[in-house]
Amino acid sequence: MATSIWPNCFSAAVVANGMVNLYRWFIEALPGKLKARVKTASQYVAAFVNVLVYAVVHWTMRYWRKFRGPSPVRYWLGRMHNATTFEEWEEAAQRVDALLDLNIWRQEDKHPEYDYRLIHQRMAAMKEAHDKNDLPTLFNLLRSGLIRNLGNITSKELYNGAFAGTKDLIEDYIGQFLLFIDDIVEMNKGPYRVLKRGRVPFASLEDSDTPESSAENKPRDTGELKVDIPPTEKVNLFHGWRQTYGRTALVLQGGSLFGFCHLGVVKALFLRGLLPRVIVGTATGAIMAALVAVHSDDDLLQVLKGESIDLSAFKRKNAEPSGDGWLSTTWRRLKRYVRKGHFLDSEVLEKCVRDNIGDVTFQEAYERSKRVLNITVVTDEQDRIPRVLNYLNAPNVVIWSAAVASNVSSGRIYGPNRGPRILCKDKYGRVVPWRPMLNSPFFHYLKGTYQGRNAPLQRMAELFGVNHFVISQARPYLLPFLRPEVHGPQIEKRQPWPMRAISFALKLGVLEMRYRLRQLDRLGVMPLPVRRFLVDEDVPGDSLTLVPSIELKEFVGLLGRPTAESINDWILKGERSVWPSMTALEVRLAIEMKLDMAYERVRKEYSREVNKSRRKDKKGSDDDGLSSKRKKKGSGDDKKKKGEY
β 431-433/423-425 pair status: antiparallel
Is residue 105 a part of any domain in this protein? no
Average pLDDT over residues 477-501: 67
Instruction: Please check the confidence at residue 558 and state whether its pLDDT lies above 70.
Output: no
Q: Which helix (H) or strand (E) holds 194?
A: strand 191-195
Selection from 377-391, 452-466, 491-505, 530-544 with the highest mean pLDDT: 452-466
Is the pLDDT higher at 174 or at 196? 174
Predicted confidence at residue 515, as pLDDT, reads 78
Average pLDDT over residues 632-643: 52
Selection from 167-176, 295-304, 327-336, 349-358 with the highest mean pLDDT: 167-176
Is residue 393 a part of any domain in this protein? yes
Average pLDDT over residues 574-587: 96
Question: Cβ–Cβ contacts within 10 Å for residue 491, how many?
Answer: 12
Instruction: Please check the confidence at residue 629 and state whether its pLDDT lies above 70.
Output: no
Predicted confidence at residue 571, as pLDDT, reads 93
Predicted confidence at residue 474, as pLDDT, reads 83
- Please tell me whether residues 373 and 423 are part of one structural domain: yes
The domain in which residue 516 lies consists of 497-535
Predicted confidence at residue 207, as pLDDT, reads 44
- Please tell me whether residues 387 and 508 are part of one structural domain: no
pLDDT digits (tens, 9 = 90+) for 234-250: 899 999 999 999 999 99
- Please tell me whether residues 350 and 419 are part of one structural domain: yes
Q: For residue 471, what are the CA distances in angstroms to 127, 252, 468, 624?
A: 35, 6, 10, 61
CA nearest 137: which of 40, 34, 210? 210
CA nearest 84: which of 75, 73, 92, 72? 92
CA nearest 551: which of 530, 576, 531, 532? 576
Q: How far is CA 414 from the centre of its chain?
A: 34
- Please tell me whether residues 422 and 517 are part of one structural domain: no
Cα dihedral 88, 91, 92, 98 in deg (nearest 10)? 180
Predicted confidence at residue 249, as pLDDT, reads 97
Environment class of residue 490 by beta-carbon count within 10 Å: exposed (0-12), middle (13-18) or buried (19+)? exposed
Predicted confidence at residue 556, as pLDDT, reads 65
Quickly list H helices, 186-217. 211-216
Confidence of residue 326 (pLDDT cuts 50, 70, 90): low
Backbone angles phi, psi at 199, to 5 degrees: -75, 120
Selection from 9-13, 33-37, 232-236, 310-314 with the highest mean pLDDT: 232-236
| CA torsion through residues 309, 314, 319, 324, sign | negative
Is the pLDDT higher at 322 or at 467? 467
Asked which of 16-20, 135-139, 199-203, 560-564 is least confident by mean pLDDT, the reply is 199-203
Is residue 381 a part of any domain in this protein? yes
Q: For residue 21, what are the CA distances in angstroms to 7, 14, 28, 45, 393?
A: 21, 11, 11, 18, 89
Is residue 129 a part of any domain in this protein? no
Predicted confidence at residue 291, as pLDDT, reads 93
Check if the beta carbon of residue 465 is closer than 8 Å to that of residue 557.
no
Is residue 515 a part of any domain in this protein? yes
Check if the beta carbon of residue 282 is closer than 8 Å to that of residue 445.
yes
Confidence of residue 68 (pLDDT cuts 50, 70, 90): low
- Please tell me whether residues 451 and 507 are part of one structural domain: no
Is residue 77 a part of any domain in this protein? yes
Is residue 345 a part of any domain in this protein? yes
Provide the percentage of residues in the chain whose pLDDT is more than 70. Answer: 64
Question: Cβ–Cβ contacts within 10 Å for residue 259, how many?
Answer: 27
- Please tell me whether residues 397 and 513 are part of one structural domain: no
Predicted confidence at residue 221, as pLDDT, reads 43
β 466-473/247-253 pair status: parallel
Is the pLDDT higher at 2 or at 86? 86
Helix (H, G, I), strand (E, B) or coil at 234: helix
Instruction: Please check the confidence at residue 55 and state whether its pLDDT lies above 90.
Output: no
Confidence of residue 117 (pLDDT cuts 50, 70, 90): very high
Domain end (from 464, 483, 516) = 464
Domain end (from 447, 464, 481) = 464
Average pLDDT over residues 440-467: 73
Predicted confidence at residue 578, as pLDDT, reads 96
The rounded mean pLDDT for the chain is: 77
Quickly count helices (H) and strands (E) in the chain: 23, 11
- Please tell me whether residues 396 and 528 are part of one structural domain: no
Selection from 40-44, 116-120, 196-200, 218-222 with the highest mean pLDDT: 116-120
Instruction: Please check the confidence at residue 572 and state whether its pLDDT lies above 60.
Output: yes
Average pLDDT over residues 8-13: 55
- Please tell me whether residues 288 and 420 are part of one structural domain: yes
Check if the beta carbon of residue 197 is closer than 8 Å to that of residue 139.
no
DSSP bridge partners of 251: 280, 471
Is the pLDDT higher at 30 or at 572? 572
- Please tell me whether residues 522 and 459 are part of one structural domain: no
HEC string of 558-607? HHCCCCHHHHHHHHHHHHHHHHHHHHHHHHHHHHHHHHHHHHHHHHHHHH
Asked which of 340-349, 413-422, 611-620 is least confident by mean pLDDT, the reply is 413-422
Domain end (from 100, 115, 141) = 100
- Please tell me whether residues 294 and 438 are part of one structural domain: yes
Instruction: Please check the confidence at residue 410 and state whether its pLDDT lies above 60.
Output: no
Predicted confidence at residue 225, as pLDDT, reads 31
- Please tell me whether residues 374 and 280 are part of one structural domain: yes
Is the pLDDT higher at 69 or at 428? 428
Check if the beta carbon of residue 590 is closer than 8 Å to that of residue 278.
no
Is residue 612 a part of any domain in this protein? no
Selection from 250-259, 382-391, 569-578 with the highest mean pLDDT: 569-578
Residue 234's contacts (CB-CB under 8 Å, 6 or more residues apart) are 184, 185, 187, 602, 605, 606
Instruction: Please check the confidence at residue 385 and state whether its pLDDT lies above 70.
Output: no
Q: How many domains does the chain have?
A: 3
Confidence of residue 330 (pLDDT cuts 50, 70, 90): low
How far is Cα 299 from Cα 311, in angstroms, rounded to an integer?
18
How far is Cα 287 from Cα 275, in angstroms, rounded to an integer?
17
- Please tell me whether residues 507 and 375 are part of one structural domain: no
Is the pLDDT higher at 82 or at 551? 82
